[in-house]
Every structure is written in C-alpha cells, then in structure tokens.
C-alpha cells in the first residue's frame, strides 16, 4: 500500500483517486473549492461530473493542502492546466526533497510557452517530476472501463514505481523516457479536438474528420520533433491514441466546445455552455507561438486561433484549409522517377 495525494478534485482527479483507491492505496484528495470538498465529503460522489460513482472508503477528501502533501509516496497534480503553477507555488512549502510529483493535466503555459512539467520543475526544484497521459476520459476510468496510458519520467525506476502504483487489470500503464512528446501530444490534441468539434457542428462528415485527425497528428509531430521529441511517441498512446479519443467522443469538453462554435456560438459562450475548463482554448495560442518560434507549419492550429480569437467563421476557416496550395503528403519521401 502506498500513500498518494491528489491535488485537484475535478472529474480527472476524482477518477484517478478512485482507480488508486481500488488498487488498495491510501488516498488523500484535495480541492481548493470548499463547495467541492463539502459535496464529496457529504455525498461521497461528484454528482455533476461523475454521477453515480461513489468514492471508496479509503479516500480522504480535504481542503488542507499540507495534509494532501505530507508524507506521500506520490503527489499527483490533477488541477486544470491554467492552475498548475499557482497550485505548485501554494504547495511548495509542503513538498519534501526527492518527492515524486506526477502531472496529469494537459496543456502549455501561454505566457512562458513552458510545458507543465517545466512549470513544476521551476516551482518545485526539490521534487522529481513525472507525467501521466493517454486516451483516458475520466467518465470511463471512474467506471473501470479498460484504459491504457503512459507515464514519462527521467529515471526508469521512477517511471516503474508510478507504473506499479497505478496499474490494474482495467488500467494498463506503459513507461517512456520521452516526457516532451508525451506532454506535447496531450496538450496539442486539445487544439485539434476543437477543430474536430467545429467540423461536426458544421455538419461535415467522416471523410472530413479523418482528414483532420490525420493532418492534425502530422502538425503535432512536426512541432514535437522540432522541440526535441521522438516521432515514434506521436504514433502511440499520447499522440494518435489521445487525439482519436478526444476528437470523436462526446465526453471531450474540447470537442463539445468546438461543436458549439461550429454551430455559431462564440468561444466565450461555448466555454460557458460546457461548464468546464476547455484546455484547448488555452493551448491554442501557445501552440501557434511555438510553431512560429520553431518555424514549423501548423495550418490547422493557425485556423483554430483565427476562429477562437479573430472572429473568423469555422466554415470559412475549413474552406481556406482545403484551398491551400497543393503539396506532397510527406516531403521526406523521394520519387523514384
């Protein structure tokens, strides 16, 4: 049995807490929102986010940050990406030297263009930072539906320790040293998922969605390789796998927000309607800035930004993508004749 503290009691943090509790670990689930803490303590259920899923008895819910960090084998950062830095600052005094910290949020910090593991390393230099990501909707994980993810860490022994902690019959965990690719895949797929939702909102078909997903992973891979990632990782769970599930599922807040935008909603109204943090909106600007910094072509990301922040209609953006100059699918491939 291990002691695990989870910082962030939204749908994903709660689903992971349930998964870890079922593995027999001692779980402390923290939220900064007193109303959320009261709800979970009183009903033992996240009624709005994960209705019908009861918290096991070995989950302690608290608003005491020190309690959630002290003497833990693993601390999981499960707050939404915009709040990772502020939560790290608040918890820093309670995190010991060599503490294993696992980030499970997906995003890029807009101002600094840092990945979330870089943000945590900056705020928690005493800790050992790892990441966990993959195609894993909280709604399904909380129900014990078979799911597979990957954990990335600098040390193999750290990744293996986390793997053993999270692994179960219904929650399979792989390991990888490729942290940058895992994080970029997880963050940038949210931007492509917004576009996928727009396509569905516009009433386009499967052909259009397949093209978007395929060209979307090509864009993500180009940027990831330019930033030092490995091409192979983007064809795996945190690249293509996460992209497929986020672009096609009604559980996806990014897809759902994009769908509303395709129907004519503004970005602000779509986010209000979804009632959760739409992380792709926060990652879209950062993705475009990184594309320009690394001189990588990302036309889908560029059009998503225009729709979100410049008032371009989703249909107009789609037609502009189709009307671009004809090119080869893969420039690296050589003609025999």
Give the model confidence (pLDDT) of 97-149 as tens digits.
999 999 999 999 989 999 999 999 999 999 999 999 999 999 999 999 999 99
Residue 197 lies in a domain: yes
Determine the Cα–Cα distance for residues 220 and 224; give it in Å rounded to an integer: 6
Tell whether 16 and 129 lie within a shared domain. Answer: yes
224: helix, strand or coil: helix
Give the per-residue pLDDT at 213.
97
Which among 177, 211, 242 is the end of a domain? 177
Sheet holding 74-77, edge to edge: 59-62, 26-30, 3-7, 74-77, 100-103, 128-133, 147-152, 171-176
By annotation, the residues acting in catalysis are: 189
Asked if residue 332 belongs to a domain, the reply is no
User: What three-state secondary structure class fits 2?
Assistant: coil
**Is the domain of 142 the same as that of 217?**
no
Q: b/e string for 44-57 if b means 16 or more Cβ within 10 A?
A: ebbeebbeebebee
Q: Which pairs count as long-range contacts for 239-244, CB under 8 Å and 24+ apart, including other chains?
A: 239/181, 239/185, 239/189, 241/134, 241/135, 241/148, 242/133, 242/134, 242/135, 242/136, 242/185, 242/186, 242/189, 243/185, 243/189, 243/192, 243/193, 243/213, 243/216, 243/217, 244/135, 244/213
Pair 156, 234 in one domain: no
Neighbours of 265 (CB within 10 A): 18
- Asked if the structure places residue 314 within a domain, the reply is yes
Give yes or no: residues 165 and 191 share one domain.
no
Instruction: For 173-216, write each residue's pLDDT tens digit.
Output: 999 999 999 999 999 999 999 999 999 999 999 999 999 999 99
Q: Are 172 and 163 in contact (CB under 8 A)?
A: no
Instruction: Give the pLDDT of residue 48.
Output: 87
Residue at 330 is within a domain: no
Number of domains within the chain? 2
Instruction: Report the alpha-carbon distance of residue 234 to residue 217 in Å, rounded.
Output: 7
Strand, coil or helix: 189 = helix
Domain end (from 138, 158, 177): 177
One domain, residues 57 and 186: no
Pair (14, 137) in one structural domain: yes
Residues in the chain with pLDDT values less than 50: none
So what's the pLDDT on residue 279?
A: 86
Q: Has residue 328 been placed in a domain?
A: no
Claim to verify: residue 128 and residue 206 sit in the same structural domain = no
Domain end (from 177, 194, 209) = 177
Is the same domain home to 33 and 103? yes
Show the domain range for 104: 3-177
CB 59, CB 15: distance < 8 Å: no
CA atoms within 13 A on the CB side of 81: 29
Could you tell me if 163 and 211 lie in one domain? no
CATH number of domain containing 300 = 1.10.1040.10
The answer as to whether 302 is a domain residue is: yes
CA atoms within 13 A on the CB side of 111: 3
Assess if residue 43 is contained within a domain: yes
Whether residue 334 lies inside any domain: the answer is: no
Residue of 314, 316, 305, 312 lying closest to 280 (CA atoms): 305
75 and 159 share a domain? yes
Same domain, 204 and 152: no
At 180 the pLDDT is: 98
Q: Is 189 exposed, middle or buried (0-12, 13-18, 19+ CB in 10 A)?
A: buried
Are 161 and 63 in the same domain?
A: yes
pLDDT of residue 290: 97
CATH number at 64 reads 3.40.50.720
């Amino acid at each position: 049995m291990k002691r695990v503290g989870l910082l962030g009691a939204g749908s994903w943090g709660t689903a992971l807490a349930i998964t870890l509790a079922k593995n027999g670990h001692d779980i402390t689930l923290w939220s900064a929102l007193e109303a959320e803490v009261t709800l979970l303590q009183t009903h033992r259920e996240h009624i709005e986010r994960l209705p019908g899923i009861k918290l096991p008895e070995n989950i302690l819910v608290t608003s005491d940050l020190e309690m959630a960090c002290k003497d833990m084998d693993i601390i999981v950062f499960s707050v939404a990406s915009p709040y990772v830095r502020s939560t790290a600052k608040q918890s820093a005094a309670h995190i010991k030297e060599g503490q294993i910290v696992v980030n499970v949020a997906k995003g890029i910090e807009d101002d600094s263009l840092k990945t979330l593991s870089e943000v945590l390393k900056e705020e928690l230099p005493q800790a050992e930072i790892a990441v966990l990501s993959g195609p894993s909707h909280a709604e399904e994980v909380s129900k014990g539906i078979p799911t597979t993810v990957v954990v990335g860490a600098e040390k193999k022994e750290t990744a293996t320790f986390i793997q053993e902690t999270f692994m179960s019959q219904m929650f399979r965990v792989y390991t990888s040293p490729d942290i940058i690719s895992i994080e970029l895949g997880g963050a940038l797929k949210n931007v492509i998922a917004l576009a996928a939702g727009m396509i569905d909102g516009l009433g386009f078909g499967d052909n259009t969605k397949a093209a978007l997903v395929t060209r979307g992973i090509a864009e993500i891979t180009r940027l990831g390789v330019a930033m030092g990632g490995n091409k192979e990782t983007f064809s795996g769970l945190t690249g293509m796998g996460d992209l497929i599930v986020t672009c096609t599922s009604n559980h996806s807040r990014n897809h759902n927000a994009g769908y509303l935008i395709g129907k004519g909603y503004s970005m602000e109204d779509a986010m209000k309607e979804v009632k959760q943090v739409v992380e792709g909106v926060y990652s879209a600007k950062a993705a475009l800035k990184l594309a320009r910094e690394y001189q990588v072509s990302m036309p889908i990301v560029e059009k998503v930004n225009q729709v979100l922040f410049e008032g371009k209609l989703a249909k107009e953006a789609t037609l502009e993508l189709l009307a671009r100059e004809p090119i080869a699918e893969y420039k690296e491939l050589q003609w025999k004749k």
